[in-house]
């Protein structure tokens, strides 16, 4: 257990001992702030229009018109940010040979993979926290449905964790961080856009399968403030699957 947390802590602190962690955090802060301001501007424009249009006024609410689009934009941003954060997790250890310390210590591959995943999870919490000023402004000066806000945060956190764990797995496949980055980015985008295919396609087994696979459909479902077990299970099992796959890969590194 100590080893698990020691690995997690080292990974988490590693983000701040490295420019990549700071740059990603800063980029995400700037982009999330930009989207927030843009969404507020759009929302206030709608609000001004709705003064003249009673039917529009009855439909306009801060949850659908501001929170949901903002979190959607944050999710897309994270799709691009997380590969840069996860690429080094194991690839760098392999390149620098520091992996030998882990492989020759009495620590199981599962603990190594889970420790790395937890370190990434702790950084995912940081990414959530950096958007907190936006949420604070909403709560302070708007009248949002707290449930919708919290559900969106939960969905965004689980998505970030899932993407980073997927990146962790790709990072274990190669010594090259660039290769790990491209694999994570490519797969992340693919899992995103299959959602569009699902929306466009005809009803059928394929559509159902694609819909289940698509990140976007699970996020949309949660984004509207509806907390369904199947969506949480999907995102959590995404993380669990890639943590397990990483553990298998680390075990293979030991015996290959």
Partner 1 sequence: MIEVQGLTKRYGARVAIDDVSFSVPKGEIVGFLGPNGAGKTTTMRIIAGSLGASKGRATVGGFDVVAEPRRVQSMLGYAPETPPVYGNMSVSDYLAFAAVLKGVSDVPAATARAISALGLDKVSDRLIDNLSKGYRQRVGLAQALVHDPKVLILDEPTSGLDPAQRVEVRNLIQQLAAGDRTIVLSTHVLGEVEPICQRVVIINKGRIVAQDQIGALSARGGHLVRLQVARPGAAEALGALPGVTSVVEEDGYLVIRAQEEMRERLAAAAVPFGLLEFSGRARLEDVYLALTKDEARA
Summarize as ranges the residues that interact with partner 1 (CB under 8 A): 2-3, 6-7, 10, 14, 17-18, 96-108, 254-256
Q: Which residue number, 18 or 50, has a Cβ lying nearer to partner 1?
A: 18
| CB of residue 29 to partner 1, shortest distance in Å | 22
Cβ atoms within 10 Å, residue 106: 6
Distances (CA, A) of 232 to 139, 157, 164: 25, 11, 16
Task: Give φ, ψ of 17 to 5 degrees.
Answer: -95, 10
| CB of residue 161 to partner 1, shortest distance in Å | 23
Q: Which residue number, 102 or 164, has a Cβ lying nearer to partner 1?
A: 102
Q: Is the backbone of residue 174 left (phi > 0), alpha (psi -120 to 50) or beta?
A: beta
Q: Which residue number, 85 or 185, has a Cβ lying nearer to partner 1?
A: 85
| CB of residue 3 to partner 1, shortest distance in Å | 5
Question: What one-character-per-residue DSSP string does 132-185 give?
Answer: HHHHHHHHHHS---HHHHHHHHHHHHHHHHHHHHHHHHHHHH-S-HHHHHHHHH
| CB of residue 249 to partner 1, shortest distance in Å | 14
Q: Which residue number, 5 or 196, has a Cβ lying nearer to partner 1?
A: 5
């Amino acid at each position: 257990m100590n080893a698990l947390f020691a690995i997690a802590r080292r990974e988490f602190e590693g983000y701040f001992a490295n420019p990549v962690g700071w740059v990603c955090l800063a980029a995400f802060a700037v982009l999330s702030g930009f989207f927030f301001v843009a969404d507020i501007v759009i929302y206030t424009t709608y609000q001004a229009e709705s003064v003249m249009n009673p039917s529009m006024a009855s439909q306009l609410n801060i949850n659908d018109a501001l929170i949901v689009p903002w979190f959607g934009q944050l999710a897309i941003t994270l799709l691009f940010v997380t590969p840069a954060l996860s690429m080094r997790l194991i690839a760098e250890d392999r390149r620098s040979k520091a992996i030998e310390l882990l492989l020759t210590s009495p620590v199981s591959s599962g603990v190594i993979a889970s420790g790395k995943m937890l370190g990434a999870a702790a950084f995912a919490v940081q990414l959530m926290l950096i958007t907190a000023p936006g949420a604070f402004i909403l709560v302070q000066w708007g009248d949002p449905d707290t449930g919708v806000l919290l559900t969106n945060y939960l969905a965004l956190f689980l998505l970030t964790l899932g993407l980073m764990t997927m990146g962790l797995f790709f990072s274990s496949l190669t010594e090259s961080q660039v290769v790990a980055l491209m694999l994570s980015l490519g797969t992340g985008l693919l899992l995103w856009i299959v959602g569009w295919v699902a929306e466009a396609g005809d009803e059928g087994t394929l559509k159902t399968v694609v819909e289940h696979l698509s990140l976007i459909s699970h996020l949309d479902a949660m984004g509207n403030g509806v907390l369904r077990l199947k969506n949480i299970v999907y995102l959590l099992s995404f993380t669990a699957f890639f943590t397990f796959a990483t553990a298998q890969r680390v075990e293979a590194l030991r015996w290959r």
